[in-house]
Amino acid sequence: GAVVSQHPSWVICKSGTSVKIECRSLDFQATTMFWYRQFPKQSLMLMATSNEGSKATYEQGVEKDKFLINHASLTLSTLTVTSAHPEDSSFYICSASVTSGRAPKTQYFGPGTRLLVL
Amino acid sequence: GIQVEQSPPDLILQEGANSTLRCNFSDSVNNLQWFHQNPWGQLINLFYIPSGTKQNGRLSATTVATERYSLLYISSSQTTDSGVYFCAVNKAAGNKLTFGGGTRVLVKP
């Protein structure tokens, strides 16, 4: 139980294009989803908190116009990297927070999306 | 914000050995989780342990909230235990996780 999926698992794109990453909670409802970025051999850094039906809350230093987040339902959040540049190449990971039933505030993580911008 | 420090940063073990990983945090927390990130990047929940002791197979964890640290014990390590172990915490009234720097574990056959 508590499975989170991400799509795509990896993507290669040209500089200047936009890339959309989907995060789905498969067997539970999540009012809150989180987006993280991880550079090689580093820890996870929180980018933004996404609440269903409201605007995302971005961490300091994260450009909200560049990383567009939409959380339209209790099982789906999307992250769009707009006008991607090589420095946006990274491993993007989402997580979902269980709202009821299981241990509250436990976050379950998706498998991640590797983005390479050429 | 809250600081989370993990030690050691790197650990090389011979298969069958036991080890202890430590996580120190700078403020009171209402959630602490341990994760294992496998070589493909997937984070696997190991423990939700804001306080007390839990065991799951060869792994166990103890959090002493009043002293602001948590320990993860790996017993009889196997090569499949290789990867990076992260602890992450969130403060009271918040749900954002702050991750430590991780401990990179390599178990040699």
**Direct distance between the N- and C-terminal alpha carbons of chain B, in angstroms, rounded to an integer:** 40
DSSP, collapsed to helix, strand or coil, labels residue A60 as: coil
Percent share of chain B, pLDDT over 90: 85
Q: Compute the CA torsion angle B4, B63, B34, A23 (nearest 10 deg).
A: -80
pLDDT, tens digit, 9 for 90 and up, residues A30-50: 888 999 999 999 999 999 998
Q: What is the pLDDT of residue B18?
A: 97
Element (H, E) at B22: strand B19-25
Contact B33 A91 (CB under 8 A): no
pLDDT at position A68 is 95
Token pair for residue A107?
Answer: 């976050």
A vs B: CB pairs below 8 A:
52
pLDDT tens digits, one per residue of A64-115 = 999 999 988 889 999 999 999 999 999 999 999 875 555 456 788 999 999 9
User: What's the pLDDT score for residue B90?
Assistant: 87
Which residues make Cβ contacts (< 8 Å) with residue B25, sequence separation at least 6?
A: B2, B3, B4, B5, B32, B68, B69, B70, B89
- pLDDT at residue B74 is higher than 80: yes
Average pLDDT, chain A: 90
Partner residue facing A111 (CB), from B31, B41, B95: B41
At residue A100, the pLDDT reads 54
What amino acid occupies position A43? S
Distance (Å) from the C-alpha of residue B40 to the closest C-alpha of chain A?
A: 8
Strand partners, B59: B56, B74
Q: pLDDT at position A104, please?
A: 54
B7: number of Cβ within 10 Å: 14
